[in-house]
Amino acid sequence: MKIKDSVALVTGANRGLGAAFARGLLAAGAAKVYAAARDPAAVTVPGVVAVRLDVNRPDQIAALARELTDVSLVVNNAGIGGSGPVLDPQSIDTLHQQFETNAVGPLRVAQAFAPTLAARGASAIVNVISALSWVTLPGVTGSYSASKAAAWALSNAMRQELKAQRTEVLSLHVALMDTDMARGATGPKSSPDEVVRLAIAALEAGQSEILADEVTRSVHAGLTARPPMYLGMVG
């Protein structure tokens, strides 16, 4: 789809990649960008329309979908991190939280806005996923990786189900970015603004999936290595 004159909703738009999406979409010619956050006052991107949305609140999602009937692009960016070994009993609570926010939340948003997107004709959803949907760092990212793997599978399902109404679905896979979420992590970090530039180009080219950095491309290639990367990282 074309970004020029589109109307976008970006979830988790108060910082990091979400704020970069809000900036990038306006710069690319979007007519309006709704920047959603649990606290709209935290949205500081000039020129956007700040709206309240907690993706763990089905009532808020439904109310926003009833209100924003002009949206033609949804960017499912809101998500949470968290780390630790999956065999720690406390990991179950973390797993529930991550699944609700990283997998169920984007699905609820897609369900709520699907009729609006259908009415707009050419439309799209961007689901921000992760290189960690394909690989797990032992003792560190188990539950997070599981939530992002679920998000990837759901994104693939959305793509098939929304094809008939001309709503495209782009899965955005990215590794570490220079954001608050990755502040304590070591390793190469991508610029959120550059990731957004690549995502917008992929949207306008009609792509279904984008691997936004070299680390992500390496992880993806490792899925078919012998042994696969995700097995080779054990031990």
Residues present in the chain in total: 235
List residues with catalytic annotation: 144, 148
Q: Cα–Cα distances in Å, from 38 out to 34, 43, 81, 105, 204? A: 13, 10, 16, 13, 29
Using CA atoms, how far apart are residues 27 and 138, in angstroms rounded to an integer? Answer: 40
